[in-house]
Amino acid sequence: MTNDRNERRLRFALIGGGPGSFIGGVHRIAAELDREIELVAGAFSSDADRSAQAGAAYRIDPARAYPDLATMLAAEAARPDGIDFVTIATPNHHHLPAARAALEAGIAVMSDKPATATLQEARDLADIVAGAAVPYALTYTYSGYPLVREARARIAAGEIGQVVKVIVEYSQGWLAGAVDSKQAAWRLDPGRAGAGGCIADIGVHAFHLAEFVTGLHVTQLLADLGSVVPGRTLDDDAQLLLRFDNGARGALLASQVMIGERNGLRLRIHGTRGGMDWRQETPNRLVIHHGDGRTEIVQAGDASLGSDAMAGLRTPGGHPEGYLEAFANLYRDFATLLRGGAAPLLPGISDGLRGMALIETAVHASREDSGWVHLIV
Ligand code: NAD
């Protein structure tokens, strides 16, 4: 079934993405953007009727909207046109069982973040991935933005010198009070979200972005996490001081109680010869501060962009693109992997492990008031 993948669209199934869900539909759009991949099946919900309802909404063959993952994997394996991979878009506690079942059935996995609900689960998953014959990748969405990839390439080329300071912040306000929604319910429940609240939901994105762009690893952290809204057991507000493996210092702020903030992900990196500033809400601009005092604004579509950024753009300069296309870039990379090529920018299990280590280390260190601790993966 794999030998014809260069000649046809890749076929995928969604796990999650049922009625009223958030990110599953985004995966569907992003995966299909370039017409290299198509949604053909799914176990869209833990409820069979709701899975069928979602299948109808996605306009797939009703026979391929399955009541559960095990039924789907067995049925798809028996088809000559069965799925090439699954996308996992369920709450965090379901990531490991879903990934394990798919990988053990020889089906590649594109998983949403965080990799799992706990660090131990991520270690178990890493063992499974190491023994699997098919790829596993993670949708750390923000690494798919062209100008994020441009920043990474310029830092690797030495444009701002040695990195000395990294400030990454991810501010939201949607959990500033009691929220009655499907999305809030599991995110505030340790049984489904895992050890971390805000730190696992968005802090881990900020962490990955900082490491991805700088090419550095965090080695130590000092964490102060808390829940601002009474009654919450998981954090909704977090700040971390960071030390990186080249000696750089930094800070990570993640909060979901900052009223007025929408999706305020911002990354500032300063080096011995300059600095960079990228904001997710204006993703097609990268501000570069040069050591001689000049400030340069690099924009999507500029002729000066490097090959990683150019490859991720789909519209002419001045025509906005953003979140869906960034997601689609991760799917394009994943399709390349499935067709036997290389996708060095695509996050994988090692990034997943580091993210889970960050979450658990920060939660534990803050709770115990431990001061500086090592980040041990
Ligand atoms: P959601 O609650 O909106 O949707 C979850 C879906 O999973 C629902 O349709 C639910 O019915 C389904 N589901 C639950 N258990 C299932 C099971 N056993 N089998 C099949 N389906 C099942 O959640 P969401 O906001 O879409 O988040 C889902 C995941 O995506 C989370 O892990 C979250 O961290 C991640 N996420 C990532 C990004 C990103 O930027 N990459 C953004 C949002 C969410």
Write the CATH number for 66: 3.40.50.720
What's the domain count of the chain? Answer: 2
User: Which atom of ligand 1 approaches the CA of 95 most closely?
Assistant: 32
pLDDT at 152: 98
Q: Which two tokens stand for residue 35?
A: 């017409």
CA distances to 30, 50, 186, 193, 326 from 180, in Å: 28, 20, 11, 16, 29
Tell me which residue range forms the domain holding 301: 143-309+349-368
The residues lining ligand 1, judged by C-beta closer than 6 Å to any ligand atom, are 15-18, 21-24, 43-46, 89-92, 94, 112-113, 139, 141, 182-183, 186, 201
2: pLDDT strictly greater than 70: no
29 in a structural domain: yes
Q: Are both 199 and 223 inside the same structural domain?
A: yes
Q: Are both 26 and 62 inside the same structural domain?
A: yes
Q: Are both 176 and 232 inside the same structural domain?
A: yes
ipTM exceeding 0.90? yes
325 in a structural domain: no
d(CA 337, CA 318): 31
Mean pLDDT along residues 177-201: 96
d(CA 225, CA 235): 6
326 in a structural domain: no
- What would the pLDDT profile of 194-247 be if each residue is shown by its tens digit? 999 999 999 999 999 999 999 999 999 999 999 999 999 999 999 999 999 999
Distance 89 CA to ligand 1 centre (A): 4
Q: Which of 306, 285, 352 is nearest to 110 (CA)?
A: 352
Q: Which of 237, 225, 254 is nearest to 167 (CA)?
A: 254
Q: Are both 46 and 178 inside the same structural domain?
A: no
Distance 326 CA to ligand 1 centre (A): 19
- What would the pLDDT profile of 306-337 be if each residue is shown by its tens digit? 999 999 999 999 999 999 999 999 999 999 99
DSSP string, 40-54: EEEE--SSHHHHHHH
pLDDT at 358: 98
3: pLDDT strictly greater than 80: no
Q: Are both 169 and 114 inside the same structural domain?
A: no
Reduced to 3 states (helix: H, G, I; strand: E, B; else coil), residue 138 is: strand
> Going by CA atoms, what residue is nearest to atom 39 of ligand 1?
141
Evaluated on CA atoms 332, 326, 235, 218, the torsion sign reads: positive
CATH number, domain with residue 269: 3.30.360.10
1: pLDDT strictly greater than 70: no
Non-local CB neighbours of 74 within 8 Å, separated by 6+ positions: none
Q: Are both 51 and 171 inside the same structural domain?
A: no
Please state, for a pLDDT cut of 90, what percent of the chain lies above it: 99
Q: Which of 18, 6, 25, 26 is nearest to 48 (CA)?
A: 18
- What would the pLDDT profile of 80-100 be if each residue is shown by its tens digit? 999 999 999 999 999 999 999
Distance 117 CA to ligand 1 centre (A): 13
Distance 342 CA to ligand 1 centre (A): 28
Distance 165 CA to ligand 1 centre (A): 34
Q: Are both 251 and 160 inside the same structural domain?
A: yes
Q: Which of 158, 133, 200, 151 is nearest to 361 (CA)?
A: 200
Q: Are both 132 and 31 inside the same structural domain?
A: yes
Q: Are both 18 and 67 inside the same structural domain?
A: yes
